[in-house]
């Protein structure tokens, strides 16, 4: 029988369980708690519906984030709207928390140009699929904010596997040296597809890497949305105070396949998946709210219905978009396109009929 590692029991937590009592955070009102709940439900609904849409052939391969919602919503709720978000594919729907339409994110997964948003509209950078390459981008953006004496900061999301990539180290080091107002948010779901975290590093914990860059690191329970919120709020306060970057390691165990194209049965530890499902983030937060007397079943149902309706409208809008024309393959690549493009496009049009 697999064991949950003792170190994981030492993570920073706010939401209690059978052994530990709930903690309360300062300065939060009822509105905050319910807004956070709404965000969790929106992300969860997006994720669960997307798996169904994929099976129906309505979106392409999809990177499931089930039980990562607490890391995403908890951290975004600690930001201001002017702060910049740099997501990886695991946070593909994080823009929804900034008012991005559902149809935009669905279009991205449908490979449709309507899925390409202008990052400046939401202060959400493009979804990064290459592992870790957005860490230096985020460090550069944050450094720029500092040079401009802006009060804003940036947050960059990446996985445990990304901590083995050169660009992660370059970005983290650069942010440290430049004292950039950056939150380095590591979603440690313990797997990089089928590679376990034990094959990524000899460090005891990923958060130990922060020491090498001379920046503070904190390790939290990634399925405790309030612990994530608290850690990010502290990191953002440090960034705004001119104290530079923070590394947050949020620990979970990946409970869903890496993506719809993956079959984890060959490598995953099913006991640990079951354990993660029992402690999944949405139910834990619902329990916390109920213990505070802040959430009734009718209200929860109203929020779930709202999110389901947004999804129905979103997929209808995404599917109503006309297919992109072949000229798009050649557009936006060159300021001064080579002459051959015209004949290439003509040939492509002939082939496509
Ligand atoms: C530079 C680069 N190398 C390899 C890949 C293939 N790849 C896609 S997802 C993935 C695993 C990443 O794992 P992790 O960083 O832990 O993020 P997670 O998917 O668990 O959120 C890999 C290796 C890639 N996308 N980019
Ligand atoms: Mg991972």
161 CA distance to ligand 1 middle (Å): 6
165 band by pLDDT with thresholds 50, 70 and 90: very high
- Alpha-carbon distance of 283 to 178, in angstroms, equals 40
- Alpha-carbon distance of 189 to 203, in angstroms, equals 16
Tokens of 341: 């493009």
Find the Cα–Cα–Cα–Cα dihedral 270, 275, 277, 279, rounded to 10°: -170
pLDDT at 353: 83
Mean pLDDT within 279-297: 97
- Alpha-carbon distance of 231 to 208, in angstroms, equals 16
DSSP state, residue 322: P
4 band by pLDDT with thresholds 50, 70 and 90: very low
CB count, 10 Å around CB of 137?
18
Percent of the chain clearing pLDDT 70 (strictly above): 97
Does the pLDDT of residue 197 top 80, yes or no? yes
Percent of the chain clearing pLDDT 90 (strictly above): 92
193 CA distance to ligand 2 middle (Å): 7
Residue (of 160, 142, 153, 137) closest to 68 by Cα position: 160
DSSP symbols for 84-130 = EEE-BGGGTTGGGGGT--HHHHHHHHTT-GGG---HHHHTBPPPB-S
- Alpha-carbon distance of 259 to 257, in angstroms, equals 5
Does the pLDDT of residue 187 top 80, yes or no? yes
Tokens of 286: 């619902």
Tokens of 11: 């993570």
pLDDT at 329: 87
pLDDT at 52: 98
Catalytic choice (9, 267, 290, 291): 267
- Alpha-carbon distance of 289 to 25, in angstroms, equals 13
pLDDT at 19: 85
239-260, pLDDT tens digit by residue? 999 999 999 999 999 999 999 9
> To test ligand 1's pocket by mutation, which of 66, 193, 195 has the most ligand atoms within 8 angstroms of CB?
193
Does the pLDDT of residue 3 top 70, yes or no? no
pLDDT at 350: 95
DSSP state, residue 27: T
């Amino acid at each position: 029988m697999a064991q949950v590692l003792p170190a994981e029991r030492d993570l920073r937590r706010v939401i209690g369980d059978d052994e530990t009592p709930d903690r309360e955070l300062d300065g939060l009102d009822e509105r905050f708690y319910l807004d956070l709940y709404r965000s969790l439900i929106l992300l969860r609904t997006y994720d669960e519906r997307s798996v169904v849409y994929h099976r129906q052939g309505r979106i392409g391969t999809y990177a499931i984030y089930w039980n990562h919602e607490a890391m995403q919503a908890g951290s975004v709720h600690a930001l201001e709207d002017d702060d910049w978000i740099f997501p990886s594919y695991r946070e593909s729907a994080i823009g929804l928390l900034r008012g991005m339409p559902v149809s935009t994110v669905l279009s991205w997964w449908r490979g449709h140009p309507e899925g390409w948003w202008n990052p400046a509209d939401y202060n959400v950078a493009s979804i990064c699929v290459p592992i870790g390459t957005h860490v230096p981008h985020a460090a550069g953006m944050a450094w720029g904010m500092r040079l401009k004496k802006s009060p804003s900061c940036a947050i960059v999301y990446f996985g445990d596997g990304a901590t083995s990539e050169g660009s992660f180290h370059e970005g983290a080091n650069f942010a440290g040296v430049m004292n950039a107002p950056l939150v380095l948010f590591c979603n440690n779901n313990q797997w990089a597809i089928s590679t376990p975290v034990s094959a990524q590093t000899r460090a005891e914990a990923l958060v130990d890497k922060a020491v090498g860059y001379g920046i503070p690191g904190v390790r939290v329970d990634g399925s405790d949305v309030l612990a994530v919120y608290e850690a990010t709020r502290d990191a953002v306060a440090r960034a705004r105070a001119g104290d530079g970057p923070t590394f947050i390691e949020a620990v979970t165990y990946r409970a869903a396949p890496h993506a719809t194209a993956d079959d984890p049965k060959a490598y995953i530890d099913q006991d640990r998946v079951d354990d993660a499902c029992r402690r999944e983030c949405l139910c834990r937060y619902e329990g916390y709210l109920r213990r505070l007397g802040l959430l009734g079943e009718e209200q929860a149902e109203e929020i779930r219905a709202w999110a389901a309706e947004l999804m129905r409208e979103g997929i209808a809008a995404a599917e109503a978009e006309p297919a992109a024309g072949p000229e798009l393959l050649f557009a936006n690549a060159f300021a001064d396109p080579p002459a051959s493009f015209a004949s290439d496009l003509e040939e492509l049009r002939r082939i496509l009929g």
